[in-house]
Chains A and B, each alone.
Chain A
């Protein structure tokens, strides 16, 4: 068994992905398969073949929207959605290049907002995302429209016991 396959299986912690018999039900139901670089079934095959670099640098792992259709329909109960989470986390830990950088930038901005306020401050999170991604001008009109309707507030209330939220971040980041 390839080291990569073993590592992925350990991190998923459930049904080993060798149990996949490639019926491609996951891919038939995947709403993002058509825009993925490799479809979900191909990713499983590539892990089985030990193609670590190709998998971790693929667009697929960032374009999976975690809709969980694959795992719901898999006849062998392979947790493909969890597998995608595991692969994303391995790609981050690996420290190599990330294919869909803006998806990760969004996650970073989102989590930074929780860490800072306990809750998402949408306008501030969007500014942070734009700075991280460099995509400064998209959705400006939409944001302005929402602001005019009073849907975006810069001063939304924070969690009072922020220390408890910050502790969650520091404790979980240390260990992973």
Chain B
């Protein structure tokens, strides 16, 4: 299958290992990626916190660019995903706003591009049986908790993703790789998001709690699908509470024996080598 690909700013910087692992996993699963032409930032929290129209127009510029390819759009970053879905939601319900935004962006908005996270594409289009068939190395002994965070799920009528109180797609995906997924009640709790820069004290407490609860659930690592969750968990948690955090695509890469998977994880702040080499996964 072929999809448009919107990496977003983080995947070209602090989350470059997410970009690299999404690309490698997509290639291995037969998903061809065509990058959205001359994309720009989605505006993230800063746009919708300060200027509503800006928060719709910035994603709309990218959605309009993606519509020209007439493909589904893969958006790995949960924050970009949420802003895209939210803009589509507003534009669908408000013809006056749509007209105004089209004038600002200078092009007609059709609303035809399906915005999708790679979790959804791999689960629903590739299928876990096919994923399982490609596993070279079972992730035996790896005990992740799945951490979905906020922006893939809420609000549900906008995100249209998975069960918003107890999502399971990522859990099932990790299980299909041979991991022993642990259950916990913090799957959809917030990591503090962009407050990490201006109020790192608050975010520190939030991720400390998440780490503590993950450990209490018996996990030895956390699987994420959001660059902000990753950055906050990987950087802001207290040293004594830390367990390794992985993008889910990195874990697929390790299980499928993909080239580069050993390099992606070197970019994390929390060293995952002791865990992975102990399990014979390095």
Using a CB–CB cutoff of 8 Å, the interface residues on chain A facing chain B are 31-32, 35, 63, 65-69, 71-72, 81, 85-86, 88-89, 92, 100, 102-108, 110-111, 113-114, 118-120, 122, 126, 129, 133, 138-139, 142, 145-146, 149-153, 156-157, 159-161, 164-165, 167-169, 171-173, 175-176
Contacts and interface: CB of A to CB of B under 8 A. Distances in A.
Interface residues of B, number: 52
A151 B57 contact: no
A85 B83 CA distance: 14
Nearest to A135: B198
B60 to A, nearest CB: 9
Given A110-B44, A111-B47, A168-B57, A100 B190 contact: no
Contact of A149 (B52, B53, B197, B266): B266
Interface stretch (B11-19, B127-135, B137-145, B247-255): B11-19
A114 B41 contact: yes
A13 B248 CA distance: 38
Contacts of A88: 49-50
Given A89-B52, A152-B13, A105 B198 contact: yes
Contacts of B48: 66, 85
Contacts of A104: 50
A173 B164 CA distance: 34
B198 A106 contact: yes
A106 B44 CA distance: 12
Contacts of A114: 40-41, 43, 47, 58
Contacts of A105: 198
